A and B are shown apart, each in its own frame.
Chain A
Amino acid sequence: MEFGLTEEQRDIQTMTRDFARERIAPRAREWDREHVVPMDLLAELGELGLLGVCVPEEYGGAGADYLSFILVIEELSRADAGVGVAVAVNTSLATLPILEFGTQEQKQVWVSRLASGEVLGAYALTEPGSGSDAASIVTSARRDGDGYLLNGAKQFITNAGFAGLFVVMARTGPPGSGAQGVTAFLVDAATEGLALGREEEKLGLNSSSTRGLVLENVRVAESARLGAEGEGFVIAMKTLDGGRIGIAAQAIGIAQAGLDTALAYAGQRQQFGQLIADFQAIQWKLADMDKDIDAARLLTYRAAWLKMSGLPHTAEGAKAKLFASEMARRHTAEAVQVLGGYGYTKEFPVERYYRDAKITEIYEGTSEIQRLVIARELLKS
């Protein structure tokens, strides 16, 4: 067993932490209040190589490993969860499936642009009538000459407002054909017939763009198909197997930010003539936060290690995401508690962490679905 980070992973973590602390955290409050997606910052992340951390150098990435990418998501999310998810989606849900399932041409066309931030990617699976039951999607892709015509609607698509590429799951099989009838497509955002819905008004994650898509006779060439016809559901699920590890890292980052603030506050605030950090009730909260953040890290880094070692990681990723997200929701609430009334105000960032943490229990598979995934693996044997 080896629990240490490599020199390279540590250097990447340190650089990202410094950058996030100095350049992201000071602006996060304003982005949250104004509902702004910081495009200038995303461009800067591209220049630093943070949009293609685990993308091979030959495709314009930094060529670091998957765990480095996970460390980057954690550090970015510690400063701003919306920035964290923008990067997570761009890499795990848009770039990695192209690298894993794409043709040479698709990799050439898209990957280096996604890794540099010239184009940002999004992943469109969810539909108004199809969330957890993703195999029930009805967006259709009909053969049309030498290509396909896509019709339908997608819901809650992260990065939609500025994405240049959508990885779209659509049905090539007949209605009701289930998982076998789904195919994945790489759809250029500029394609005619593709329109965006309005920005969702959300509980949190306000620096992230979440919009619906309407596809009306969107014509794509056969070369835009990712993988074979009927392979789309498998691609979508395998992609989420990895994506979840990124969401676990996002949750850890948010929880760590909560602990950072709670710890600093407890060391300053006096009541009953002593620091609140001297009350055992507060110490226990801080100790539990630290303990659970640590546990979540171990689950998450292990899942990342399995993935980068080419080993199965479906259940391990689900466990990491499930544990980390529930832990983040619970402990960001405790962080608010440590700050008392001040924690409930927007003077301090913990109420934002609390609102942001909640989403990690929902997207890329709800907690109920994670339990279903874990149980299914458990009952298999």
Chain B
Amino acid sequence: MQTVVLVKQVVDTEAEKRLLPGEWRLDRASVENILNPYDEYAVEAAVQLKEELGGEVTVLSMGPQEAEEAIRKALAMGADRGVLVSDPVLQGSDALATARVLAQVLRGLGFDLVLCGSMSTDAQTGLVPAALGELLDLPVLGAVNRLEVHGGSLKAARQTDEGAIVYECPLPAVVAVAKGINEPRYPSLRGIMGAKKKPLDTKTAADLALELGAVGLGGARTRVHAATSVPPRAAGKTVTEYESPQEGARLLADFLHENKLV
């Protein structure tokens, strides 16, 4: 079983974020970076499949040199080797351009399964997995919260409001996993110590023979024109006047129902 997990390094979800004025791109220098939390589920799923079926897990990321840290975390969790695509000409890639680069690397790697997160916690488009499926002409399953592999095919379930839908599809395929498909492990110290000894290749745009017009800012089909802050939240409602605790509770319940919060 050869699995490739796509991981993105994102700014810490808990950090205060800032957009570069004019460019409307994230100021990545000002904050801590972490492995995209959704991708941790994908790494965990891949490592579990390896533990069950054998094989190898490759972690692939496109990003600045620091994205190596996100790859190293995945290696510490149990992946076997890493590939980082890093090149200044790739800066400004949008989701489609990103997918083009990743697809090009994937063409050069043998794989049975590509696992992604459902979305990144920074740009949050959720487009990369679908674009990859299109570019590689592979089936794509999104929001998967249960995954099994049997022989040359996989069975995946996704939870909807109405119930679970179960899909089957032949391998190779692209699967984006949902939060909650598993509980990602903390890397053990042995894993952390071992991660440094695992191979990590860094590739440039030239190594991949990428067509430069199709990637980076020039290849991006989307432009961010403006960004505005979310308006501050309106003051909440406090229930202060009620005759009995029961009535108070009912007023609270009414509020939750009216606002479709339950």
A-to-B contact residues, CB < 8 Å: 7-8, 11-12, 15, 18-19, 47-50, 52-53, 57, 62-64
Contact = CB atoms under 8 A, between A and B. Distances in A.
A49 B73 CA distance: 16
A18 B186 CA distance: 8
A12 B187 CA distance: 9
Interface in B66-96: 72-73, 76
11 contacts: A7-B72, A7-B196, A11-B187, A12-B192, A15-B76, A19-B186, A50-B189, A57-B193, A62-B190, A63-B193, A64-B189
Interface residues of B, number: 12
Contacts of A53: 189
Contacts of B187: 11, 15
B222 interface: no
B188 interface: yes
Contacts of B188: 47-49, 62
A15 B193 contact: no
A15 B186 contact: yes
Contacts of A8: 192-193, 196
Contacts of B193: 8, 57, 62-64
A12 B189 contact: yes
Nearest to A18: B186
B196 to A, nearest CB: 7
Contacts of B196: 7-8
A246 B262 CA distance: 49
B186 A48 contact: yes
Contacts of A52: 189
A12 B76 CA distance: 10
Nearest to B185: A48
Given A47-B188, A48-B188, A64-B192, 10 more contacts: A11-B72, A11-B195, A12-B189, A15-B76, A15-B189, A48-B189, A50-B189, A53-B189, A57-B190, A64-B193
Contacts of B73: 11
Contacts of B192: 8, 11-12, 15, 62, 64
Contacts of A19: 186
A7 B69 CA distance: 9
A49 B186 contact: no
Nearest to B191: A49
A142 to B, nearest CB: 42
Contacts of A49: 188-190
A37 B38 CA distance: 34
Contacts of A47: 188
Q: Which of B76, B190, B192, B193 has the most CB of A within 10 A?
A: B192
A18 B189 CA distance: 13
Nearest to B195: A11
Interface string B162-190: 00000000000000000000000011111
Interface in B92-120: none
A11 B186 contact: no
A185 to B, nearest CB: 30
Contacts of B190: 49, 57, 62
Contacts of A50: 189
B189 to A, nearest CB: 3
Interface string B191-212: 0110110000000000000000
A360 B195 CA distance: 35
Nearest to B196: A8
A79 to B, nearest CB: 14
Contacts of B72: 7, 11
Nearest to A53: B189
Nearest to B34: A14
A82 to B, nearest CB: 20
A48 B76 CA distance: 11
A123 to B, nearest CB: 23
B35 to A, nearest CB: 10
Which 9 pairs across A and B sit closest by C-beta, in order of nearness?
A49-B189, A62-B189, A11-B192, A49-B188, A48-B188, A19-B186, A49-B190, A15-B187, A62-B190
